[in-house]
């Protein structure tokens, strides 16, 4: 990668911003390779290995750009994630007891470490509406906010079928399903912020 940045005109002119679309594309191709199999054991090894390599290249590319700017390098990236994994798993690396609420403990550690004032902080705005909704709901459950949440059991097949049926009904009714979901998600986010705000009595 270091040699490509010097000797290849195209690689030499790339920036973090110009590579962002490639990072998204390569991530999508990894997902496609994974979903080519119905289970982990029947994913085509060659395809998944190749797509993971393409994704890894993007990480090396960004690290090399930063290194050329004397900011950080691939070793710093690797050390950063190693340190984070050790720090976030005291029950593995520091002799602590396994937490009863694994995900809640994980989210609490992240919130304290990053000094986040809200469970909504750190959720990328660029996620698709459905992916962001899933992340918002998961965060809200894990930090045990007092916000009403549906919890009736459903299978993956039922979920997919019902989502598609709702999209079909929306289209037949002249409703943009993505816009309607974004509106509902914003309402949920407002409810979350209200639940997080200290009450007047507490003040």
Q: Tell me, what's the pLDDT at 203?
A: 44
DSSP structural state of residue 76:
H
Are residues 143 and 111 in contact, defined by beta-carbon separation less than 8 angstroms? yes
**Model's pTM, two decimal places?**
0.73
Q: Tell me, what's the pLDDT at 105?
A: 85
> Which helix H or strand E contains 75, and what residues bound it?
helix 74-88
DSSP structural state of residue 200:
T
Are residues 43 and 14 in contact, defined by beta-carbon separation less than 8 angstroms? no
Low-confidence ranges of the chain (pLDDT < 50): 200-203
Angle at 139 between CA 133 and CA 123, to 5 degrees: 60
Q: Tell me, what's the pLDDT at 66?
A: 97
pLDDT tens string 90-148: 999 999 999 888 888 888 888 788 888 898 998 998 899 999 999 999 999 988 889 99
Domain boundaries, the chain: 2-88, 99-196
Q: Tell me, what's the pLDDT at 157?
A: 95
Question: Is the domain defined by 2-88 classed in CATH 1.25.10.10?
Answer: no
């Amino acid at each position: 990668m270091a040699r490509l940045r010097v000797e290849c005109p195209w690689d030499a002119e790339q920036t973090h911003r110009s590579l962002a679309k490639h990072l998204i594309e390569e991530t999508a191709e990894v997902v496609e390779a994974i979903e080519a199999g119905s289970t982990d054991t029947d994913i085509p090894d060659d395809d998944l290995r190749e797509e993971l390599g393409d994704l890894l290249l993007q990480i090396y590319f960004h690290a090399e750009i930063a290194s050329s700017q004397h900011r950080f390098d691939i070793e710093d990236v690797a050390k950063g994630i190693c340190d984070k994994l050790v720090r976030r798993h005291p029950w593995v690396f520091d002799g602590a007891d396994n937490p009863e609420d694994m995900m809640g403990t994980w989210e609490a550690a992240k919130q304290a470490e990053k000094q986040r004032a809200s469970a909504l902080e750190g959720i990328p705005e660029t996620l698709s509406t459905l992916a962001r909704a899933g992340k918002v709901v998961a965060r809200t459950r894990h930090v045990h906010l007092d916000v009403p949440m549906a919890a009736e059991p459903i299978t993956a097949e039922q979920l997919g079928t019902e989502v598609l049926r709702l999209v079909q009904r929306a289209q037949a009714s002249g409703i943009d399903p993505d816009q309607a979901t974004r509106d509902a998600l914003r309402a949920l986010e407002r409810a979350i912020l209200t639940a997080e705000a200290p009450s007047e009595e507490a003040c």
